[in-house]
Amino acid sequence: MLYTRKGDAGTTKDFKSKPGERKSKSSCQTEALGALDELGAFLGLAKLKSVEAGWAVDGVKPFDIVFWVQNNLFTVQAEVAGAEMKVGQGKVTQMEQWIDWVEKELPPIKTFFISGGTELAALFDVSRTLARKAERRVVAGGEKGEFVLDPATLAFLNRLSSLFYALARLTNHKSGITEQPPSYK
């Protein structure tokens, strides 16, 4: 059944809830879970569009990178919800390797850039902003003591926006699109 009616009063539970214990759907934890879910769902669109990309990051296609991120976001959500799961430092290291590889392919950053260029780059830019929002929600929940996360999980969330920024830039670069800085006029 797709509905249980248990949340009709605006409450939910997590993995650590005792029998009968419910919490508000407006809690920081629920906000964090929602922001992570929003990012994962949006990445489905970026993943589908990335099928058209004719390039790879260190031999890994963008579709596979996005799928990897989506899969790991479920582990982060489980940890935020109180499960004994962690993404671990190895996943952070993997992202750093991809980002480092992309940076070697691109001209150095000297300014901010206006989002867009190609549709896929724009999708990666939106993914970057959703990743930052999810990170802020997770940090807020941790600061309020609603859950405790492994330091590698926080690093993973922090690297996500850098990964999507790198993918957006690489997408434009591989498409021959020149990045446009803002004019500040």
Contact between 147 and 29 (Cβ < 8 Å): yes
Q: What pLDDT does residue 60 have?
A: 96
In this predicted structure, the answer to whether residue 33 has a pLDDT above a threshold of 70 is yes
Read off the pLDDT of each residue in 53-81 and give the average, rounded to a whole number. 96
Q: Over 80: is that where the pLDDT of 12 sits?
A: no
Higher pLDDT residue, 63 or 185?
63
Average pLDDT on 57-84 reads: 96
Domains of the chain: which residue ranges? 27-174
Give the amino acid at 90: G
CATH 1.20.1200.10 at 27-174, yes or no: yes
Lowest mean pLDDT among 13-17, 90-94, 107-111: 13-17
Q: In this structure, which long-range contacts are made by residues 46-51, counting pairs with CB atoms below 8 Å and at least 24 apart in sequence? A: 46/120, 46/123, 46/124, 46/126, 46/127, 49/119, 49/120, 49/123, 50/120
**How far is residue 136 from each of residues 29, 104, 119, 153, 154, measured CA to CA in Å?**
12, 29, 26, 13, 10
Is pLDDT above 90 for 16? no
Average pLDDT, rounded, for the chain: 91
The answer, yes or no, to whether residue 18 has pLDDT greater than 80, is no
Residue 32 has pLDDT above 80, yes or no: yes
Q: Which residue has the higher pLDDT, 144 or 1?
A: 144
CA-closest candidate to residue 103, choices 63, 137, 57: 57
Could you say which DSSP state residue 117 is in? S
Residue 159: which of 111, 89, 74 has the closest Cα? 89
